[in-house]
Amino acid sequence: MRPYYTMYATENGFGEQEVRAPSSPEFQSAFNAFAHGSLIATETGDVAVEDLRPGMQVLTRERGPQPVQWIGIMTHIPSPHSGKLLTRVTAGRFGTAQPELDLLAGPGARMLHRPTGDRFACGDKFAYTPLRDYIDGDSVIGIAPRMATDTYHICLRHHGTIRVCGLDMETFHPGMTILGQMGAHTRDLFVSMFPHIRRATDFGQLAHPRLTLRSLGDEAA
């Protein structure tokens, strides 16, 4: 068990709570996408993720401005056995101003892109791929922090894609497969960390499929 910190939308603004829950990947995935300082595109300009609050309007690719419903924060304490927690993407790695500046992201970060290949050739077909899949030791680098490090994730009313330092990145969704694999007690505990919803199905549908670079094979250009 470990502590997690959340902020969530209410009728009169937003609430805050600290909860204790398992330190398993399923739980941590809700808190470890964006590193401190990541710039999120909002209606009024870029806002550092640590300054974002529920109710603020972020820009989404699929539905335009959407209010932030929930923000998850966790602190990672380095240890001798800690792996490379963060992924650093150098400016321009995926195209002009993509990202605009060097970007630090956590293990839960997924980037939206259009893979090549026959199954993505027709229509507006995109996929979310873990950012750390692109680690090459050159323009995308794995980093093991030496100091305590905060990471964040955000949840909207509708799952989708936001602009983070010039990259199209996924907002939080647990994935219905993962929720289905949890026992009833664990699933109830997980959902309780999101006071803005009542049941697991309130997360809705994924905006785009999730695919690893390995599963895409030579379609991962």
pLDDT digits (tens, 9 = 90+) for 88-142: 999 999 999 999 999 999 999 999 998 876 666 666 689 999 999 999 999 999 9
How far apart, in Å, are the Cα atoms of 50 and each of 77, 117, 158, 194?
Answer: 18, 38, 21, 18
Average pLDDT over residues 183-212: 93
Measured distance CA(9)–CA(154) in Å, rounded: 12
pLDDT at 215 over 90: no
Compute the average pLDDT of residues 160-174. Answer: 97
The whole-angstrom separation of Cα 34 and Cα 157 is 19
Residue 1 clears pLDDT 80, i.e. is over it: yes
Give per-residue pLDDT as tens, 89-104: 999 999 999 999 999 9
Q: What is the mean pLDDT of the chain?
A: 92
51-73 pLDDT tens trace: 999 999 999 999 999 999 999 99
% pLDDT > 70, the chain: 95
Q: Which structural domains are found in the chain, ordered by start?
A: 2-218 (2.170.16.10)
For the chain, strand residue ranges (E) read 2-10, 13-21, 34-35, 39-42, 45-48, 57-60, 64-76, 86-89, 103-105, 110-113, 127-130, 140-143, 149-156, 161-164, 167-170
pLDDT of residue 219: 45
What pLDDT is stored for residue 83 in this prediction?
A: 84
- Residue from 58, 61, 18 nearest 154 by CA: 58
Q: How confident is the model at residue 177 (pLDDT cuts 50, 70, 90)?
A: confident
Helices and strands: H and E segment counts in the chain: 4, 15
Give the whole-angstrom CA distance, residue 200 versus residue 165. Answer: 30
Check pLDDT > 50 for residue 218. Answer: no
pLDDT at 220 over 60: no
| Antiparallel, parallel or unpaired: β 64-76 and 39-42 | unpaired
Asked if 71 and 152 count as a contact pair (C-beta separation under 8 A), the reply is yes
Q: First vs last Cα of the chain: how many Å apart? A: 39
